Amino acid sequence: MLKAIYPGSFDPVTNGHLDIINRAVELCDSLVVAVARNSEKKNLFSAEERIQMLSSCCYKDNNKIEIVEFGGLLADYCVENGISVIVRGLRAIADFEFEYAMALMNKRLAPAVDTVFLIASNENSFVSSRIVREVVSLDGDVSSLVPSCILPLLKKRLRN
Ligand code: PNS
């Protein structure tokens, strides 16, 4: 039974995240999509809101996917929950340095847990939550970059 985790801020979830989730779930028996509560970033949405967005818009009907919130170290969460693989998406070379350091640190903290990288699909290779937030705040159109149910929530939060 291969249990994997896809951790992130998901602030908000984008089509790039969905691409990774859809491909990762095919590679494992179960996938935990884990929303970081105490990410160092200052988030636009609370952890509860980010979980709600992921669950209500995306995955409520897929019983291989569980959406959780986590605090503390990702490595500890993996060990405590029998997770052997961490999935991360790689968009560009620019992602690599941070991801490399994180993978090695997680390996040191939890030697039985490996990190697997999925290369973002071409059409999503430039999409990030940060870019989506900025474009929405300046009244730009991101309808092809985020799930449709996310759009109204984003506009409400950023344009008020
Ligand atoms: O979507 P993000 O912001 O790139 O995700 C980063 C995240 C949340 C996966 C990373 O910051 C993380 O794992 N945070 C949990 C705390 C932790 O374990 N930190 C040490 C990582 S080596």
DSSP string, 10-62: -TT--HHHHHHHHHHGGGSSEEEEEEESS-SS--SS-HHHHHHHHIIIIITT-
* pTM to 2 decimal places: 0.96
The amino acid sitting at 29 is D
Predicted local confidence at residue 39, as pLDDT: 61
Residue that wins the pLDDT comparison between 34 and 63? 34
Sequence spans of domains, the chain: 3-159
> Does the pLDDT value for residue 12 go beyond 90?
yes
Residue that wins the pLDDT comparison between 57 and 156? 156
Task: Kindly state if the Cβ of 115 falls inside 6 Å of ligand 1.
Answer: no
Predicted local confidence at residue 60, as pLDDT: 63
Predicted local confidence at residue 65, as pLDDT: 94
Task: Kindly state if the Cβ of 73 falls inside 6 Å of ligand 1.
Answer: yes
Nearest CA to ligand 1 atom 6: 8
64 carries an active-site annotation = no
- Flag the least confident range among 27-31, 33-37, 92-96, 132-136: 92-96
Ligand 1 center from residue 20 Cα (angstroms): 16
37 carries an active-site annotation = no
Residue that wins the pLDDT comparison between 159 and 19? 19
Q: Which of 19, 31, 33 is nearest to 119 (CA)?
A: 19
128 burial via Cβ count (<10 Å: 0-12, 13-18, 19+) = middle
Long-range contacts of 90-95 (CB under 8 A, 24+ apart): 90/117, 90/118, 90/119, 90/120, 91/16, 91/120, 91/124, 91/125, 91/126, 91/127, 91/128, 92/125, 92/126
Task: Kindly state if the Cβ of 8 falls inside 6 Å of ligand 1.
Answer: yes
pLDDT digits (tens, 9 = 90+) for 23-32: 999 999 999 9
Average pLDDT over residues 41-58: 89
On whether the 3-159 domain is CATH 3.40.50.620, my answer is: yes
> Does the pLDDT value for residue 41 go beyond 80?
no
